[in-house]
């Protein structure tokens, strides 16, 4: 699939009304009741004031917003779940393209495939898939957005058994900087598909992800405190069951051991720096 949206923006610089007239979603401006809440991201230290926030309803809104920002030479911040530690989900004086209202999810349990929109969180996706006894590997916290997590690679509780999130990514629908809407997968635009698997938001705005689903069994998870974190976690990993993954704080004294899907639902352990230790060689070889 390939479609090209052309905005009417080139001759109408900074005409936010023309953008509002083109989109089906909402345009939130400074002074609007929603603006204060809408400008904030998960990282509370980030305090940016965007020129406007677009709550996109669909891929067409995304394309119009990308073109509007480009034509007006404005910075564009794309926001999925808003959990970027660097605060990339917002921007001072630019346009925030907030995808939180795009939360469609279609699960095909027979084909073990799912199409998911970028406003979903890992927890929402995981709960819906778990109803079918299936899961896609995400991270350790349910509130993180599937979008940023997937585009960054995605490492979590299922990594030893099923790999990174991008190992389960089958394809994407994406809007590129010139407003084109493309499908990228192993057959169509394979270079772009390669790039989005770890390249973050640098290659376009993903409007749908297609994931492979894996069968999952009993949920096992739990927390433990150990003193000499790195050495003891390494030892715990060496002796843990094949499917277990350990996640702990790099400098703290906490560790959480997760089985098949416990962590994908999110324990909310809130560790600042997350490291993962995957022993027995296999995980490092697959995902290093
Ligand atoms: C509490 C916490 C726990 C975490 N645990 C893990 C973990 O276990 N495993 C792991 O791998 N990571 C983990 N992370 C890191 C997390 O995966 C990244 O911060 C991720 O980028 C967040 O995605 P988001 O959609 O919520 O964030 P956002 O801030 O919305 O987006 C993050 C980045 O992706 C871009 N982006 C978002 N949506 C799109 C889109 N649709 N198209 C193109 N670009 C887009 C944004 O522009 C931004 O640059 C954790 C982060 C936090 C805060």
Tens digit of each residue's pLDDT, the chain (288 residues): 566 666 666 555 568 888 999 999 999 999 999 999 999 999 888 999 999 999 999 999 999 999 999 999 999 999 999 999 999 999 999 999 999 999 999 999 999 999 999 999 999 999 999 999 999 999 989 999 999 999 999 999 899 889 999 999 999 999 999 999 999 999 999 999 999 999 999 999 999 999 999 999 766 666 666 556 566 666 766 776 666 666 665 444 344 444 444 443 333 333 323 333 333 333 333 332
Could you tell which of 38, 42, 88, 144 is best to mutate to test the pocket of ligand 1, judged by most ligand atoms within 8 Å of the CB?
144
Complete DSSP assignment for 91-106: -TTSEEEE-TT---EE
- Look at residue 239 and give its three-state secondary structure: helix
Give all strands (DSSP E) within 161-279, no chain letters: 169-175, 180-185, 205-212, 214-215, 221-225, 245-249, 254-258, 274-277
CB 278 within 8 A of CB 240: no
The residue nearest atom 49 of ligand 1, judged by CA position, is: 88
Compute the distance from residue 84 Cα to the ligand 1 centre, in Å.
Answer: 5
Could you tell which of 77, 87, 145 is best to mutate to test the pocket of ligand 1, judged by most ligand atoms within 8 Å of the CB?
145
Could you tell which of 84, 153, 192, 263 is best to mutate to test the pocket of ligand 1, judged by most ligand atoms within 8 Å of the CB?
84
Domains of the chain, CATH where assigned:
2-98 (3.30.43.10), 105-215 (3.30.465.10), 221-287 (no CATH)
Compute the distance from residue 88 Cα to the ligand 1 centre, in Å.
Answer: 9
Cβ-based neighbour number of residue 198 at 10 Å = 14
Phi (first) and psi of residue 123, to 5 degrees: -65, -40
CA-based nearest residue to 257, from 239, 272, 282, 231: 239
CB 68 within 8 A of CB 76: no
CB 96 within 8 A of CB 90: yes
Whole-number pLDDT of residue 230: 60
Q: How far apart are CA 55 and CA 25, in angstroms?
A: 6
Pocket of ligand 1 (CB under 6 A): 42, 78-85, 88-89, 99, 118, 139-141, 144-145, 147-149, 151-152, 154-156, 200-201, 205-206, 274
CA-based nearest residue to 199, from 169, 161, 160: 169
CB 132 within 8 A of CB 105: no
Compute the distance from residue 69 Cα to the ligand 1 centre, in Å.
Answer: 22
Whole-number pLDDT of residue 223: 62
């Amino acid at each position: 699939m390939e479609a090209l949206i052309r905005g009417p923006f080139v001759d109408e610089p900074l005409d936010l009304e023309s953008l509002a007239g083109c989109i089906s979603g909402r345009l939130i401006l400074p002074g609007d009741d929603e603006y204060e809440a809408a400008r904030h991201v998960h990282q509370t230290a980030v305090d940016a004031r965007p020129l406007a926030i677009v709550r996109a309803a669909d891929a067409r809104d995304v394309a119009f917003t990308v073109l509007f920002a480009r034509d007006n030479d404005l910075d564009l911040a794309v926001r999925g779940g808003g959990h970027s530690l660097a605060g990339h989900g917002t921007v001072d004086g630019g346009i925030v393209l907030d995808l939180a209202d795009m939360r469609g999810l279609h699960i095909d349990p027979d084909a073990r495939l799912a199409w998911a929109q970028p406003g979903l969180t890992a927890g929402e996706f995981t709960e819906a898939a778990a109803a079918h006894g299936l899961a896609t590997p995400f991270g350790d916290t349910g509130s993180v957005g599937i979008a940023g997590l997937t585009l960054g690679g995605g490492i979590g509780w299922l990594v030893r058994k099923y790999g990174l999130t991008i190992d389960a990514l089958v394809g994407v629908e994406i809007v590129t900087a010139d407003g084109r809407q493309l499908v990228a997968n192993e057959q169509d635009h394979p270079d772009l598909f390669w790039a989005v698997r770890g390249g973050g938001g640098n290659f376009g705005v993903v409007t749908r992800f297609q994931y492979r689903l894996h069968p999952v069994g009993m949920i096992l998870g739990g927390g433990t405190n150990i003193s000499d974190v790195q050495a003891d976690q390494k030892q715990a990993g060496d002796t843990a069951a094949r499917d277990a993954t350990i996640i702990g704080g790099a400098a703290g004294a906490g560790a959480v051991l997760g089985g098949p899907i416990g962590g994908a639902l999110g324990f909310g352990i809130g560790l600042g720096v997350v490291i993962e230790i995957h022993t027995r060689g296999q995980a490092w070889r697959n995902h290093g």
